[in-house]
Amino acid sequence: MIKRALLMATAMSTAGLMGANAAQAEELTLCWAAWDPANALVELSKDFEAQSGHTMNFEFVPWPNFADRMLNELNSGGKLCDLLIGDSQWIGGGAENGHYVKLNDFFEAEGISMDDFAPATVYAYSTWPKGTPNYYALPAMGDANGWFYRKDWFENEDIRAAYMEETGQELREPETQMELMQIAKFFQEREIDGQTRYGVSIFTERGSEGITMGATGALYTWGFEYETEPGTYQMEGAVNSPEAVEALEFYKELYECCTPPGYTDSYMEQSLDAFKSGQVAMAMNWFAFFPGLYADPDVGGDKIDFFVNPPQNVPASTLGGQGISVVSYSDKQDAALEYIKWFAQPDVQAKWWELGGYSAHNSVLTDPGFEDSAPFAGDFLLAMENVKDFWQEPAYAELLLAMQKRLHDYVVADQGTAQEALDKLIEDWTEVFEDEGKL
């Protein structure tokens, strides 16, 4: 078990949190997506309420509507959210459009060091321009796209014998993307316990970000890059490289060979449902859901296990996760900053992990007991070592919609070739960056 610090702050830290603002207790609203980690944050935040005297309210929006709802709120200068746990891709727009409070002076005054957080999360969730020491969020929820599988099926002696007979190999956690497909093909339409099962549930949803978040899990492992050189916006030969074409062809084949029937518009919930209902042997989804899956009475416990996104040419995982920002339109910024200060404390971060959130704090991640603290903890560390994210540009929404269309048209609607899809994507993105004055 991880060595936990005190779960309640000391009297000194309590006094520091309450300070001069104790006489002016505020009602703060924190906005985020509606999912399991949000419930954990509600529980965690009870400590902040007790220590600070402030009251926490929460606005949680289902993932399919989260981006539209929150970005509209920010773009209109709305005052609903005092604190926002916004997606990593929003950081550029949040900074350049003045939606988020720049936190450098606050961090310096309060002794909050970004060196205390995992570098990948600081880079992705906090900085704009990327990699510069300009911070607009505190890393709040580390996350990546990973995999889980029916361990009980993989360990079944009859199934293992059949796999050996068909492939000449032991049935195991896949160590490459191609091996993942081989296993998926083996399970596709196989009868287990009197029911027809299928290989995998993957992301194919077009409306928000689903198919992009799924397909990049393959693209990144083949070596896909967004630019020939970072910061140049030169995409020819990177976005549509031979490796990228091969990876996209792989993802289409995985969709066609090995998913349940009618699996044309699936994202987080559909992937979870396919696994929980016993339809599939393996499924992709965000690490954020893994605590709930492990606790599931039907498919959790001894029946489930987890693995990091398998490499192909290189190790890579699609980045999820978010930073927490103070919204510049809030009238309660001082109290919101108190929450940031409280949340950054190592003991709070330890409890955040314990409750089901994914801390990005080094004191948690480097604890000698972390890897053994959950069956997916070690895989999470591996994933976060090699994460890649989508464009974080202010025009990210237009860039994302273009990729959603091109990928879905090719993978699901069976239009054109992978080469054509990626060539057209470059045309789409070039137009966006020209409109932005960056090309």
Model pLDDT, residue 10: 35
**Cα angle: 166, vertex 172, 176; to 5 degrees:** 90
Rounded to whole angstroms, the Cα distance separating 236 from 240 reads 6
Model pLDDT, residue 345: 98
Q: How far from the centroid of its chain's Cα atoms is residue 305's Cα?
A: 19
Model pLDDT, residue 111: 97
The length of the chain, given as a count of residues = 439
Model pLDDT, residue 191: 98
**Backbone angle region of 387, left / alpha / beta, with phi > 0 → left and psi within -120 to 50 → alpha:** beta
Asked whether the CA dihedral 138, 140, 231, 380 is positive or negative, the reply is: positive
Q: What letter does residue 127 receive in the DSSP assignment? A: B
Rounded to whole angstroms, the Cα distance separating 272 from 276 reads 6
Q: What are the backbone angles phi and psi of residue 39, rounded to the nearest 5°?
A: -65, -40
In what helix (H) or strand (E) does residue 232 lie, and over which residues does it extend? Answer: none
Rounded to whole angstroms, the Cα distance separating 391 from 39 reads 29
List of residues 6+ apart from 86 with CB closer than 8 A: 70, 94, 100, 137, 322, 323, 325
Q: Is residue 121 within 8 Å of 384, Cβ to Cβ?
A: yes
In what helix (H) or strand (E) does residue 199 lie, and over which residues does it extend? Answer: strand 195-201
Rounded to whole angstroms, the Cα distance separating 358 from 360 reads 7
Q: What are the backbone angles phi and psi of residue 372, rounded to the nearest 5°?
A: -95, 5
Tokens encoding 277? 């209902």
Q: What is the pLDDT along the chain (439 residues), one digit of tens a residue?
A: 443 333 333 333 444 444 434 448 999 999 999 999 999 999 999 999 999 999 999 999 999 899 999 999 999 999 999 999 999 999 999 999 999 999 999 999 999 999 999 999 999 999 999 999 999 999 999 999 999 999 999 999 999 999 999 999 999 999 999 999 999 999 999 999 999 999 999 999 999 999 999 999 999 999 999 999 999 999 999 999 999 999 999 999 999 999 999 999 999 999 999 999 999 999 999 999 999 999 999 999 999 999 999 999 999 999 999 999 999 999 999 999 999 999 999 999 999 999 999 999 999 999 999 999 999 999 999 999 999 999 999 999 999 999 999 999 999 999 999 999 999 999 999 999 999 999 9
Model pLDDT, residue 24: 86
SS3 106: helix
Q: Which domains does the chain have, with CATH numbers?
A: 27-143+320-388 (3.40.190.10), 145-318 (3.40.190.10)
How far is CA 281 from each of CA 170, 183, 285, 350, rounded to the nearest angstrom? 16, 9, 14, 33
Tokens encoding 50? 């007790």
C-alpha dihedral (275, 280, 286, 290), degrees to nearest 10: 50
By CB atoms closer than 10 A (0-12, 13-18, 19+), residue 157 is: exposed
In what helix (H) or strand (E) does residue 205 lie, and over which residues does it extend? Answer: none
**Cα angle: 222, vertex 225, 231; to 5 degrees:** 165
Tokens encoding 241? 């490289």
Tokens encoding 270? 């559909």
List of residues 6+ apart from 94 with CB closer than 8 A: 74, 86, 100, 128, 136, 137, 325
